[in-house]
């Protein structure tokens, strides 16, 4: 069964993209992902501060990603580990040894000097760049200011590379419909909906803040499915669904909503790389049962159907006994 798809102009042998995580931070894992049937790989994110620190830039006046503990840890170990060199080697390996697209990933908050390094990722062989643009919960900027900052970051990166650029967003905008359309107008090639944020909790016995497991559940699909179904047919950028895909059914739902691909991380962490093949086989089986011979034949069917789309416009459910 043909499960090929095209995302941001890139030809993928299958719709499952291994998302940025510890799963994609080694040559061995990247090879395992391809062998298992991954359509593409997003290498574990570098943080803006890591790039500036390694390049000798003065970031003392910059705000660190204090709401991302992994960023602070990465920066403190950065001089010893030379993460950018390691990152470029991962990209180079992907370019020379793998037959699937490799996406570099940058977690950023500004367009402060670092976008010039996008050309290094392209030269190393990255097929595309994914921007994971963070907005601090404590940020008091207006919605318009945040959108302007996102547009500036996208523009700065595109000025330094010719490969496709995508942006991974959280759903926390005052008017997400308007926000997504404004971001789409920047000419971005891809949109990843949605980013999964760090979720601390409070332990009432120790009276302290604890870090919760950040693995997803199938319920995490709900918000992404709503917005992809509502907007995919009106956006120029390709969409990748992200969050809550734990089986082939979840992947198929995203494709029906209009996503061209799906990012999977938690399910692979829990079940191993071979689980990618199980998802792919489930998609193939469903397609065969429905009489589809390619993903193009059913991608976005829900988004194109007015009655189905209207269901996602409802914000409350009323039940009368």
- Evaluate whether residue 201 is within a structural domain: yes
Task: Show Cβ contacts of residue 153 under 8 Å, excluding neighbours closer than 6 positions.
Answer: 108, 110, 111, 115, 131, 133
Of 176, 221, 238, 170, which Cα lies nearest the Cα of 199?
170
pLDDT at 67: 37
113: exposed, middle or buried (Cβ count in 10 Å: 0-12, 13-18, 19+): middle
pLDDT at 127: 98
pLDDT at 74: 47
Task: Show Cβ contacts of residue 229 under 8 Å, excluding neighbours closer than 6 positions.
Answer: 257, 258, 302, 303, 308, 309, 312
Q: Tell me the C-alpha to C-alpha distance, in Å, between residue 287 and each of 140, 248, 269, 299.
A: 47, 11, 26, 11
pLDDT at 136: 65
Q: How many domains does the chain have?
A: 1
- Evaluate whether residue 191 is within a structural domain: yes
How many CA atoms, within 13 angstroms, populate the side-chain half-sphere of residue 136? 13
| Residue pLDDT tens, the chain, 321 long | 799 999 999 999 999 999 999 999 999 999 999 999 999 999 999 887 777 766 555 444 444 343 344 444 444 444 434 778 889 999 999 999 999 999 999 988 777 777 888 899 999 999 999 999 877 666 778 888 889 999 999 999 999 999 999 999 988 787 889 999 999 999 999 999 998 777 788 989 999 998 766 788 888 899 999 999 999 999 999 999 999 999 999 999 999 999 999 999 999 999 999 999 999 999 999 999 999 999 999 999 999 987 787 788 776 555 544
Q: pTM (2 decimals)?
A: 0.88
Q: Do the Cβ atoms of 30 and 37 come closer than 8 Å?
A: no
Q: Tell me the C-alpha to C-alpha distance, in Å, between residue 130 and each of 30, 101, 258, 290, 297.
A: 17, 12, 19, 33, 27
Give the helix ranges, DSSP H, for the chain: 27-36, 48-54, 69-76, 78-81, 83-97, 118-124, 143-158, 176-184, 221-231, 248-257, 266-271, 275-290, 301-304, 306-311
- Evaluate whether residue 179 is within a structural domain: yes
pLDDT at 75: 45
Of 166, 303, 165, which Cα lies nearest the Cα of 227?
303
Please give the backbone phi and psi of residue 234, each rounded to the nearest 5 degrees, phi first: -115, 0
Please give the backbone phi and psi of residue 147, each rounded to the nearest 5 degrees, phi first: -65, -40
Rounded CA gap, 48 and 106, in Å? Answer: 7
What CATH number is given to the structural domain containing 176? Answer: 3.20.20.70
Rounded CA gap, 225 and 232, in Å? Answer: 10
- Evaluate whether residue 152 is within a structural domain: yes
Element (H, E) at 10: strand 10-12
- Evaluate whether residue 47 is within a structural domain: yes
Q: Which domain holds residue 112?
A: 5-311
Q: How far out from the chain centre does Cα 118 lie?
A: 17
pLDDT at 68: 41
- Evaluate whether residue 318 is within a structural domain: no
- Evaluate whether residue 200 is within a structural domain: yes
- Evaluate whether residue 317 is within a structural domain: no
């Amino acid at each position: 069964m043909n499960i090929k798809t095209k995302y941001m102009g890139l030809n993928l042998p299958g719709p499952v993209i291994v998302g940025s995580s510890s799963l994609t931070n080694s040559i061995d894992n990247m090879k395992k992902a391809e062998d298992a049937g991954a359509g593409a790989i997003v290498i574990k994110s570098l943080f803006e501060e890591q790039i500036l620190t390694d390049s000798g830039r003065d970031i003392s006046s910059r705000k660190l990603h204090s709401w991302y503990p992994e960023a602070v840890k990465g920066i403190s170990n950065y001089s010893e580990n030379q993460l950018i060199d390691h990152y470029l080697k991962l990209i180079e390996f992907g370019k020379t040894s793998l037959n699937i697209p490799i996406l570099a990933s940058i977690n950023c908050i500004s367009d402060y000097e670092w976008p010039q390094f996008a050309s290094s990722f392209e030269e190393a062989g990255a097929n595309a760049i994914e921007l994971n643009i963070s907005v601090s919960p404590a940020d008091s900027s207006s919605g318009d200011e945040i959108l302007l900052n996102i547009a500036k970051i996208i523009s700065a990166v595109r000025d330094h590379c010719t490969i496709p650029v995508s942006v991974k967003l959280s759903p926390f905008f005052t008017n997400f419909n308007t926000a997504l359309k404004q971001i789409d107008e920047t000419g971005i090639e891809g949109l990843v909906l949605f980013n999964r944020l760090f979720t601390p909790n409070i332990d009432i016995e120790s009276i302290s803040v604890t870090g919760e497991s950040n693995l997803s559940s199938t319920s995490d699909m709900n918000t992404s499915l709503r917005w992809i179904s509502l907007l995919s047919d009106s956006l120029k950028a390709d969409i990748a669904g992200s969050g809550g895909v734990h089986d082939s059914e979840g992947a198929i739902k995203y494709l029906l909503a209009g996503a061209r691909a799906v990012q999977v991380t938690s399910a692979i962490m829990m079940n191993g790389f071979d689980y990618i093949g199980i998802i792919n086989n489930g998609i193939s089986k469903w397609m065969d049962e429905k009489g589809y011979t390619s993903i193009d034949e059913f991608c976005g069917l829900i988004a194109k159907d007015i009655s189905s789309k209207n269901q996602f416009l409802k914000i409350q459910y009323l039940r009368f006994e």
